[in-house]
Amino acid sequence: MAKAKKAAESGIEGYRVRISLSGALLHVLSATEPVLTRSVTGDVADVAWTLIEGTEHGDTVGYIRWSEVTAITWRKA
């Protein structure tokens, strides 16, 4: 199993974000802490963040159907 990359090794500062969808777990990077917007039912409707894209350290997000998200977590990289 590959060891987790550390921020100091990658030179990237920000937040490591994990998004759980049915059958998938996405790992993305954000320069800012994610801020969730919730729907009237309490589900995640949107996330305000500044994605860091095009690196080998996280996926590049094309599209997320927020109504399908079952969990979202983040921590300082």
Q: Is residue 9 scored above 90 in pLDDT? A: no
Q: Is residue 27 scored above 80 in pLDDT? A: yes
Whether the full predicted model's pTM is greater than 0.95, yes or no, is: no
Residue 1: the pLDDT is 54
Mean pLDDT of all residues in the chain? 85
- What are the residue boundaries of the structural domains of the chain, listed by start? 7-76
Query: CA geometry: angle at 14 spanning 13 and 15, to 5°?
Result: 135
Beta strands of 1-77 (E only): which ranges?
15-21, 24-30, 35-38, 44-48, 51-52, 69-76
Q: Up-side HSE of residue 43: CA atoms within 13 Å toward CB?
A: 8
Query: CA geometry: angle at 60 spanning 58 and 66, to 5°?
Result: 105
CA 54 to chain centroid: 14
Q: What is the pLDDT of residues 35-72, one digit of tens each?
A: 999 999 988 999 999 998 888 766 788 889 998 999 99
